Structure 1
């Protein structure tokens, strides 16, 4: 394989408006590997996740004009295209590694690329990727440049990917997924770009695609796997403020302990909200953490984050702070919005249900301001410690507000 370290990745593929396949799927799959791919549309289609209605192929002159203003690629992933254009792409980029994902026919029965013309242009690609049905039509066998995928029938329990004399098996997940060929071939091309051998690129692409499909619905959704990055980012954001919490904890930690909870944008329950398990507590006057941030354990601040987010989706972080009248004065002087909650105003049905008070409290604050305020506090009640709650977009913002109320900023 030629040196591609200083060159870019190019996708030349069809446009699928449903984003399940085609160039949109290709770009998403490359992005999953941290690769910024360039892209030129080779065909426009009218389709959804279930059926292709029409495909209109672009002329080489149009494609060439777009390619000519872009940096020279080292890897080119080709998808749906007029087969004769493979020769023109090879002539334009003689040293590039070309991965051609052949698409003869859609799963709904729409014929794309004529088999006889595909055969005439196979030699212009370095690697050809296609399913077992297409391989049978073209008379292709797995080789050191032909990757054949199988297991497309409903009755198949395994997906088998053959490359040369090797066969890789993986469990076939139930359901129908639009765009597996595009995603797999793009992941394969991406791994080649990252320096993987073809064999290792096949293995790695199978593993990642399996993880993607486990989180997908009807079509291949690499973006769902990207949510795992956001989980890491949320945990990392919480852990990044530990040092400051240790510094100010002597002034902020209440008797019941303190927590900082940070919800994911899509969080629906406490286990999709990051927090410090076991709360932060004072021991001999010094803050103590049970562990780093985690999605495990329950937390009242996690429940508050969920409620706040339901009113204002960008408010995803909450902490609780020891009540002090001076802190409230500082908050007001700092220009923070402050809501005083009177527990005596709670309806009986709210008082009698555990956790309902927090939901009611935030709801009343929202009604008052038309938004979630920076601070919600109460002066305590029978069996309830007086408390200040600080709301914000993220842990950094919440900590900055906390510093203001305790008089550090």
Structure 2
């Protein structure tokens, strides 16, 4: 299935055709990129742009139309009025999503005139953000009700098939006006870079429509896709990451395989490990770059004179180790794995003799407000242990408390590194 993308080139690699291609590809469809303009930009600024001759854009469109069955079209930056005319003429009758690009996120002008953008609205599903919606309608937006009024004005006044006013500049709520009715799509602030959000949203919406989703469902799915693209945005491009779902799945596959192999090696230690397994059981956890933590479901327990995993490796299988690992990564992001063992003075002393960085926290020193808070002890304990030694600890222990078994945590930059430390400790 082919999705036609008509947009400009962002030389900084954060928005435009690059973001569009990645979005459509990630969502499982074939992108047909048609370039309208070349911008001269980097993550900090847009220095200008050059619009291609309209006949070049027209021939680009004709070439792909003759060879592909196009299910939907995303139109982004067109630059000039003559290019807009060419795009409009070659895409009439197709399902069109228009991202009405007027300016960059830094405020640089990206259209010769607002009229060239307005010319593409009739029959299209328009997806303006708040500033674009204000410019297209001539109305001010200060609330969700204002967004509704503006969406209806653009649809009824300019002939749009539907309008989605995106509320990222206001309340994180998007408003859809379609067939005379409104739909609201609530959201919340997501930490990350936002350059390229308009491109990713409109391309995702176009792709979901190409998959025959109804418009309200397609808007909802596109919004959640973009939230993920912001959450897992890339620091080097200072832009959204449309590949986040593919990268997440790849990291999940690798993490599962890495930890499954490590657990097999752990079990081979057998009798040497059995006496170091706590009454509550041992677990082995590994985190992905997306902060998803894999562990053994049901833990690893004593089994006669040896040890045995109760269940498979799964994400979210150990809340205890997940919180320990994520808190440690706030100080040392290179840490990716952790294993818990039964506390013994022998283990701690051996770790020190091996030259490992050893720290601890005393649960008796835990502030009362932390004790009363749900699930706050582990985070407080790890922070205390890290600050105590002022460098990345290989081993953290505590001596327990009323109803709490003393424990040792072994950290490493990989599951293999944790195993190496473990081998040395029980040798």
TM over 0.5: yes
Q: Aligned residues, how many?
A: 347
1:59 aligns with 2:53: yes
Cα contact 2:97–2:127 (8 A) shared by 1: yes
RMSD: 5.4
Q: Distance in 2 between matches of 1:129 and 1:104?
A: 12
**Alpha-carbon shift at residue 14 of structure 1 (Å):** 0.9
Could you state the TM-score of these two structures normalised by the residue count of structure 1?
0.61
Cα contact 1:13–1:41 (8 A) shared by 2: yes
Residue equivalent to 2:109: 110
Residue equivalent to 1:169: 184
- SS in structure 2 at match of 1:141: helix
Residue equivalent to 1:88: 86
Q: Distance in 2 between matches of 1:164 and 1:193?
A: 19
1:199 aligns with 2:216: yes
Q: Distance in 1 between matches of 2:220 and 2:353?
A: 63
Cα deviations by residue, 1:275-329 (Å, 9 ceiling, x for unpaired)? 32674223236724266434434569x97xx99xx89x7x9678899xxxxxxxx
1:289 aligned to which of 310, 322, 333:
310
CA separation of 1:186/1:25 partners in 2, compared to 1, >3 Å: closer, same or farther? same
- SS in structure 2 at match of 1:99: strand
- SS in structure 2 at match of 1:275: strand
Cα contact 1:84–1:118 (8 A) shared by 2: no
Alignment of 1:238-387 (within 5 A): 254-257=274-277, 260-265=284-289, 273-276=293-296, 279-284=299-304, 287-289=308-310, 292-295=313-316, 296-298=318-320, 344=353, 346=355, 350=358
- SS in structure 2 at match of 1:34: coil
CA separation of 1:25/1:184 partners in 2, compared to 1, >3 Å: closer, same or farther? same
Structure 2 segments unaligned to the other structure (5+ residues): 139-149, 342-349, 363-384, 396-406, 420-427
- SS in structure 1 at match of 2:11: coil
- SS in structure 1 at match of 2:155: coil
2:199 aligned to which of 162, 182, 185:
182
- SS in structure 2 at match of 1:41: strand
Residue equivalent to 1:76: 73
Residue equivalent to 1:237: 257
Q: Distance in 2 between matches of 1:149 and 1:264?
A: 35
Residue equivalent to 1:145: 161
Alignment of 1:205-244 (within 5 A): 205-213=222-230, 219-223=239-243, 228-230=248-250, 232-234=252-254, 236-237=256-257
Residue equivalent to 1:41: 35
Cα contact 2:36–2:83 (8 A) shared by 1: no
Structure 1 segments unaligned to the other structure (5+ residues): 1-6, 322-340, 363-383, 400-409
- SS in structure 2 at match of 1:38: strand
Could you state the TM-score of these two structures normalised by the residue count of structure 2?
0.59
Cα deviations by residue, 1:8-67 (Å, 9 ceiling, x for unpaired)? 122121122344432222223324423342323211123455654312111234445655
CA separation of 1:188/1:252 partners in 2, compared to 1, >3 Å: closer, same or farther? farther
Q: Distance in 2 between matches of 1:353 and 1:207?
A: 40
Per mean C-alpha deviation after superposition, the further-off stretch among 65-74 and 157-166 is 65-74
CA separation of 1:345/1:117 partners in 2, compared to 1, >3 Å: closer, same or farther? closer
- SS in structure 2 at match of 1:54: strand
Alignment of 1:382-397 (within 5 A): none
